[in-house]
Structure 1
Amino acid sequence: MARTEARPVIKLRSTAGTGCTYVTRKNRRNDPDRMVLRTYDPIARRHVDFREER
């Protein structure tokens, strides 16, 4: 059974430049723009913005 492309897997990369990434899914219909989440970066040991990379 094929997965639908309405909820693709995306990679979120830290803006602190540490190279840390998170992997999540998003609904492309509700969020067509690039996703930005403020999440904990364990390498920088603080909360930073994580931006979607394509």
Structure 2
Amino acid sequence: MARNELRPIIKLRSTAGTGFTYVTRKNRRNDPDRTVLRKYDPRAGRHVEFREER
């Protein structure tokens, strides 16, 4: 029960405008703000920023 509250599943959407997403979990206690990660976007063919969606 507590696991879902502490580590929710989040979507990371590409800022390149391709619509590509990654799905992952994050720890709300360590990262209360929206996460921004730099990951590979296969549709854009390069590394871009991915922002958290809820």
Determine if the TM-score, normalized by the shorter chain, exceeds 0.5.
yes
Q: State the 1:3 CA deviation.
A: 5.5
Aligned: 1:53 with 2:53: yes
Unaligned runs of 5+ in 1: none
Give 1:39's aligned residue.
39
Give runs of ≥4 in structure 1 deviating > 6 Å: none
| CA RMSD, 1 decimal | 0.9
% same residue: 79
More helix by share: 2
Give 1:6's aligned residue.
6
Name the count of aligned residue pairs: 53
Unaligned runs of 5+ in 2: none
- TM-score, normalised relative to structure 2: 0.93
